[in-house]
């Protein structure tokens, strides 16, 4: 690989050497982006990433290292140290924070994101373009860990749980009995009773699933064999194999076979080896399909076909990340050349549009006059019952959760300057 400095104008090449850039996120897009920045000629690059590496990420995060940057105060002054900020995040709250910091510091921000084969890159410049929060975003599909583990209420909860089970590498250390007993963790009938007991009696004794299985004489093989013989009424489905719902007996057998197959694959890899999740790997997909469906049955939900479950899992495509990372650098070169007006929002599509284009550039939209983040005089009207709403609820549920404020300050205009909520300790006393 050869650096691109020779193909750039001398003035631009010199500015790359002096330009100090911040890359936020070193995951799939971030790794590709860092490579591109170095090959383009950027020499002063700082990276922020608070995530640790997951086994399933290694195929696309080739610059990985397990690094924790502590808890520094990344405030406006920190962002003012850079000429350009590039976002490679997968978390909306973090995107909002970086967006606001760049607006406050008046630093150009290049925002990006991918989902499977789809991707997008846009440029945010204070006073010139709309910011990340100008347009309302659809509700992010995330689920609390306690819901996934203990009280799943939708099939997607069980699918996420099954994939999480695979990625936690339980197959590497546990046998069929230990893995299968995790299917029954969480009790739909006792959830409310246990929560009440915890409130009334204080913290209850925590027992691991493995210890519980041993103390109760749990026999997974016997249980699954018994389950398999209690469903003679089920009828074999018609249609494509992957679109059939196998029923409890079928998924019990598939679960047993998949666990043993994966353990055998792991043993063949040798000591220290790990299984990497891939939705296109049949044994891995068998495990997730069977585990998710058995958990759906336990919590009284309609089971899903392998086809339905597979397409509920959005893959991370390394090629998509590479394309988007390249587009980020191209937009950065426009900004450093002083041609911000030439920047575009670029969409990467899964298939060509009617004009036979996979990459679709669109003009940047101007700031929204109604945006409470980037408008010249941002304001928002909140109506609430002052007799019932607690100050803590105002701070946590409305200001922090709804509006994404980190350290809000609230003052009452009563002529006395009464401070209701303060980010400084002791000011409300």
Is a pLDDT exceeding 60 seen at residue 52?
A: no
In a domain, 68, yes or no: yes
Kindly state the percentage of the chain with pLDDT values over 90: 30
- 72-81, 151-160, 219-228: the lowest-pLDDT one: 219-228
Same domain, 277 and 325: no
Catalytic residue numbers, as ranges? 146
Q: Which helix (H) or strand (E) holds 120?
A: strand 118-124
Q: Which residues neighbour 346 within 8 Å (Cβ) at sequence distance 6 or greater?
A: 120, 121, 122, 327, 331, 359, 360, 361, 362
What are 407-429's pLDDT values in tens digits?
Answer: 888 888 877 878 888 877 655 55
Is a pLDDT exceeding 60 seen at residue 186?
A: no
What are 188-233's pLDDT values in tens digits?
Answer: 444 444 444 444 444 455 566 667 667 777 776 666 666 555 444 4
In a domain, 146, yes or no: no
Q: Which of 274, 277, 295 is nearest to 285 (CA)?
A: 277
What are 102-154's pLDDT values in tens digits?
Answer: 999 999 999 999 988 899 999 999 999 999 999 887 765 656 566 667 778 88
Average pLDDT over residues 27-42: 91
Same domain, 306 and 385: no
| Residue numbers of the domain that contains 239 | 151-310
DSSP-derived secondary structure letter, 316: B
Helix 282-298 vs helix 247-269: crossing angle, to nearest 10: 140
In a domain, 372, yes or no: no
What pLDDT is stored for residue 70 in this prediction?
36
**Residues in a beta bridge with 402:** none
Residue at a domain's end among 267, 284, 310: 310
What is the domain-level CATH number for residue 69?
3.40.50.720
What pLDDT is stored for residue 202 in this prediction?
47
CA distance 194 to 188: 11
In a domain, 373, yes or no: no
Same domain, 203 and 342: no
CA distance 252 to 229: 11
Same domain, 101 and 163: no
Same domain, 241 and 324: no
What pLDDT is stored for residue 44 in this prediction?
93
Same domain, 67 and 15: yes
Phi, psi of 367 (to 5 degrees): -60, 145
Same domain, 39 and 86: yes
Same domain, 19 and 44: yes
What is the domain-level CATH number for residue 288?
1.10.10.520
In total, how many domains does the chain have?
A: 3
Looking at per-residue confidence, does 160 or 170 come out higher?
A: 160
CA distance 332 to 350: 24
Looking at per-residue confidence, does 367 or 218 come out higher?
A: 367
Is a pLDDT exceeding 70 seen at residue 404?
A: yes
Is a pLDDT exceeding 70 seen at residue 332?
A: yes
């Amino acid at each position: 690989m050869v650096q691109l400095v020779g193909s750039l104008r001398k003035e631009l090449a010199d500015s790359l050497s002096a330009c100090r850039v911040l890359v936020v996120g070193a995951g799939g897009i971030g790794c590709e982006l860092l490579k591109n920045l170095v090959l383009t000629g950027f020499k002063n690059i700082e990276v922020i990433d608070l995530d640790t590496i997951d086994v399933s990420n290694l195929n696309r995060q080739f610059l990985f290292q397990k690094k924790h940057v502590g808890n520094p105060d990344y405030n406006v002054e920190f962002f003012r140290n850079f000429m350009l900020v590039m976002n490679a995040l997968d978390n909306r709250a973090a995107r909002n924070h970086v967006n606001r910091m760049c607006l406050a510091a008046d630093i150009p921000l290049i925002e990006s994101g991918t989902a499977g084969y789809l991707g997008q890159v846009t440029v945010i410049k204070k006073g010139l373009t709309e910011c990340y929060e100008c347009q309302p975003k659809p509700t992010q599909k995330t689920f609390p860990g306690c819901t996934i583990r203990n009280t799943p209420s939708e099939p997607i909860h069980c699918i996420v749980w099954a994939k999480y089970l695979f990625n936690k590498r339980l197959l590497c250390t546990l046998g069929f009995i230990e893995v299968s007993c995790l299917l029954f963790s969480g009790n739909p009938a006792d959830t409310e009773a246990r929560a009440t007991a915890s409130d009334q009696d204080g913290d209850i004794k925590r027992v691991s699933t493995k210890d519980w299985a041993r103390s109760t004489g749990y026999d997974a093989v016997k249980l699954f064999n018994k389950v398999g013989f209690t469903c003679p009424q089920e009828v074999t489905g018609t249609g494509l194999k992957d679109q059939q719902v196998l029923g409890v007996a079928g998924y019990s057998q598939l679960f047993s076979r998949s666990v043993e197959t994966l353990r055998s694959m792991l043993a063949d890899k040798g000591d220290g080896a790990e299984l990497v999740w891939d939705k296109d790997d049949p044994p891995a997909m068998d495990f997730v399909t069977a585990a998710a469906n058995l958990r759906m049955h336990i919590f009284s939900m309609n089971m899903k076909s392998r086809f339905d479950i597979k397409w509920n899992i959005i893959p991370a495509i390394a090629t998509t990340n590479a394309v988007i990372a390249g587009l980020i650098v191209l937009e950065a070169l426009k900004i450093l050349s002083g041609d911000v007006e030439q920047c575009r929002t670029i969409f990467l599509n899964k298939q060509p549009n009617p004009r036979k284009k996979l990459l679709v550039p669109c003009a940047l939209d101007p700031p929204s006059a109604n945006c409470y983040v980037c408008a010249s005089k941002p304001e928002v009207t909140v109506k609430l019952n002052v007799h019932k709403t607690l100050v803590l609820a105002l701070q946590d549920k409305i200001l922090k959760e709804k509006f994404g404020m980190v350290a809000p300050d609230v003052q009452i205009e009563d002529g006395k300057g009464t401070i209701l909520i303060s980010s400084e300790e002791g000011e409300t006393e």
